[in-house]
């Protein structure tokens, strides 16, 4: 647990040192140890206490206040990673001080904020699913009558859908079994290989995952296409932070990647970064138009329309009855 260090510097210098540690801990959160992650709430406490003390003393701190707000926003975006590191809601509850923190110490209740965000995401997904269900009902008739694949392809699709449902439910071992069964029928399926690698990573088989990802990249034909396939898997599994990493890498490989910008926008929408998402939907549509990709262009514009609708939904920062949510 974080303990305040002894300093001989000024209070403002102490604040800057604490902010630096907070930024470093959150910046490397995905690779941090459990102990480092556990220090973060107490570091927030210390930084807030110094800000309040210096503000009361009449010391202007615009730069430090901005740093505190920025690192707070970054921490919210990484809430899921933080909770996984500390052992979930129970692990965070075990860290809380005996005296219940004040509501403005929202970092001690980041689990509740994350739970509310997931509810909002599910409401958004349900809206999309209702619209998609009507479209699929029509397409399924056309598919059966005119485009039905052979039994091998049908079985592969069925197994993939089962694997995705199991993965979304958190049953990674069972999902991996279904993926392996599907790959026995379609060994060069990039999406299945990407899903297999992600599941192996979740199960702690990092070496096996690296081998699987290498195979996926080999059959995909390009670094960009592999990264987009894996980003799509992360989108399906509700891991927007991972989507950002792969989508940004895909754009680095091909700056004209319309799908890369589309996935960035979808991930930022899930994370609540609406201004960024809006710009990225526009860029995805522009690039898709230039490439003659009507499908991606249409998806980008439809998703942007959904984004505007979401702005009228309750936000994850709305108060929750009988709780101490983030402010």
pLDDT band at 193, cuts 50/70/90? very high
Kindly report the average pLDDT of the chain as a whole number: 83
Residue range of the domain that includes 179: 118-310
pLDDT tens per residue, range 35-70: 999 999 999 999 999 999 998 888 888 888 888 998
Distance between CA atoms of residues 314 and 19, nearest Å:
31
* Residue 319 confidence (pLDDT): 39
Asked, for residue 29, whether it belongs to a domain, the answer is: yes
Supply 258's token pair.
Answer: 């319309």
Q: Please state which of the ranges 94-98, 207-211, 263-267 shows the lowest mean pLDDT.
A: 94-98
Are 78 and 92 within one domain? yes
Supply 231's token pair.
Answer: 């980003």
What count of other Cβ atoms lies within 10 Å of the Cβ of residue 163? 26
Distance between CA atoms of residues 209 and 15, nearest Å:
42
Distance between CA atoms of residues 87 and 94, nearest Å:
10
Are 74 and 175 within one domain? no
Are 41 and 171 within one domain? no
Distance between CA atoms of residues 159 and 182, nearest Å:
6
DSSP state string for 264-316: HHHHHHHTT-HHHHHHHHHHHHHHHHHHT-HHHHHHHHHHHHHHHHHTTSPPT
Asked, for residue 75, whether it belongs to a domain, the answer is: yes
In the three-class reduction of DSSP (H, G, I as helix; E, B as strand; rest coil), residue 154 is classed as: helix
- pLDDT greater at residue 221 or residue 131: 221
Are 125 and 109 within one domain? no
| For residues 271-276, average pLDDT | 84
Contacts of 64 (CB under 8 A, 6+ apart): 12, 15, 16, 19, 51
Are 180 and 244 within one domain? yes
For residues 263-281, one letter each, b for 16 or more C-beta atoms within 10 angstroms of the residue's C-beta and e for the rest, the string is: bbbbbbbbbbbeebbbebb
| For residues 161-171, average pLDDT | 88
Are 36 and 136 within one domain? no
Asked, for residue 124, whether it belongs to a domain, the answer is: yes
| For residues 222-231, average pLDDT | 94
* Residue 7 confidence (pLDDT): 45
Identify the CATH number of the domain in which residue 152 sits: 1.25.40.10
Distance between CA atoms of residues 130 and 126, nearest Å:
6
Are 100 and 122 within one domain? no
């Amino acid at each position: 647990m974080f303990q305040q260090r002894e300093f001989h510097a000024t209070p403002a210098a102490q604040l800057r040192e604490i902010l630096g540690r907070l930024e470093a801990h959150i910046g490397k959160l995905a690779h941090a140890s459990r102990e480092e992650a556990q220090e973060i709430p107490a570091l927030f406490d210390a930084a807030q206490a110094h800000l309040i003390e210096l503000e009361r003393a009449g010391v202007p701190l615009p730069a430090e206040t901005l740093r505190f707000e920025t690192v707070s926003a970054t921490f919210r975006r990484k809430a899921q990673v933080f909770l996984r590191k500390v052992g979930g809601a129970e692990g965070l509850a075990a860290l809380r001080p005996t005296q219940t923190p004040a509501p403005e110490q929202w970092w001690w209740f980041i689990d509740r904020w994350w739970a509310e965000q997931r509810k909002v995401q599910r409401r958004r997904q349900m809206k999309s699913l209702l619209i998609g269900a009507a479209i699929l009902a029509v397409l399924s008739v056309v598919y059966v009558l005119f485009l039905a694949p052979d039994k091998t392809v049908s079985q592969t699709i069925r197994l993939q859908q089962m694997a995705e449902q199991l993965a979304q439910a958190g049953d990674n071992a069972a999902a991996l079994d279904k993926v392996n069964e599907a790959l026995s029928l379609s060994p060069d399926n990039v999406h299945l290989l990407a899903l297999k690698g992600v599941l192996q990573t979740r199960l702690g088989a990092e070496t096996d995952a690296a081998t699987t990802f290498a195979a996926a990249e080999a059959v995909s034909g390009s670094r960009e296409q592999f990264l987009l396939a894996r980003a799509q898997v992360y989108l399906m599994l509700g891991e927007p932070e991972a989507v950002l990493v792969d989508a940004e890498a895909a754009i680095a490989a091909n700056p004209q990647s319309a799908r890369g910008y589309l996935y960035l926008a979808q991930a930022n929408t899930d994370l609540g970064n609406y201004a960024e998402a809006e710009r990225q939907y526009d860029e995805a549509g522009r690039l898709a138009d230039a490439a003659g990709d009507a499908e991606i262009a249409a998806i980008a514009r439809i998703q942007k329309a959904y984004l505007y609708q979401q702005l009228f939904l309750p936000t994850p920062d709305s108060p929750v009855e009988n709780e101490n949510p983030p402010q």
